[in-house]
Amino acid sequence: MFAVGSTAVLCLTTDAQQRTDSCSFSITVEPPVRSSATTFTAFGDSITEGLALAPLLIPNPPGSYPAILQSLLAARYAAQTLVVYDEGIGGRKVVEDLPRLRTALTAEHPDALLLLEGANDLNDFGAAGISGVVAGLQSMIREGRSRAATVFVGTLLPQRPGGAKAFAPALIAPTNDRIRAMAMAEAATLVDLYAAFGGVAGTLIGDDGLHPNAEGKQKIAETFFDAIRSRLEIAPGSPRRSRH
């Protein structure tokens, strides 16, 4: 067993004729990387929920982006125990969800809050829903920060025109422009899922034109994971830094 750090190793060998030889080298053991956050709350609608069941009885559905994200985090930060709570409920809207968010934050005390919500507001209210989405996400960011959570806010996914549940494909891009500006003003970490999807539904959105398929959920998880690594990872030997 080698301790963390660099250890000099000397090897000696002697053959049957008593001839000897030696070599030396060093072994360097680095401590594992760590995350300054270990508890995450993923909050949103059915895109976060990830499973079309009514009622939903599974707290972290297999295949949901929060479940995939937890696997990615566990593999990266093997020396820590990390938990990702899935607080996605189908059909929810940003304009109505601040009380539900407060309940989740009180129950789970997350170090980090992941927000992805707004598609239902646009589908139900059209262009009139854009301001409510942006203002509602702003309130959620401030609520998360008031609970000492690092806040990540995702842009909305592209919708496929003509999809059975895609009622606002033309509103996604302008809404995301306002989400980006608001996130910057609030100093929240923007997770640009729309850009990660290439700005089009492509092969990552399912047949209904709204919900991500398995590949799309993987992409969401990976994009949040990259943002978490960039913001919260503690390199070996680095002093602990604030999450805020």
Tens-place pLDDT, residues 22-31? 999 999 988 8
**Pairing mode of beta strands 189-191, 20-29:** unpaired
Q: Give the pLDDT confidence of 67-97 residue by residue, as tens digits.
A: 999 999 999 999 999 999 999 999 999 999 9
Q: Which CATH superfamily is domain 34-234 in?
A: SGNH hydrolase (3.40.50.1110)
Domain edges within the chain: 34-234
Mean pLDDT of the chain: 92
174 backbone dihedrals φ, ψ, rounded to 5°: -65, -35
pLDDT, residue 118, reads 98
Model pTM score: 0.85
Cα separation, 160 vs 211, whole angstroms? 10
Of 26-35, 65-74, 218-227, give the lowest mean pLDDT range.
Answer: 26-35
Report, in angstroms and rounded to the nearest whole number, the Rg of the chain calculated over CA atoms. Answer: 23
- 130 pLDDT more than 80: yes
Q: Give the pLDDT confidence of 134-173 residue by residue, as tens digits.
A: 999 999 999 999 999 999 999 999 999 999 999 999 999 9
- 240 pLDDT more than 80: no
Which of 216-235 are b and which e, b meaning 16 or more Cβ less than 10 Å from the residue's Cβ?
Answer: bbbbbbebbbebbeebbbbe
> Are the C-beta atoms of residues 152 and 191 closer than 8 Å to each other?
yes
* Other beta carbons within 10 Å of 116: 25
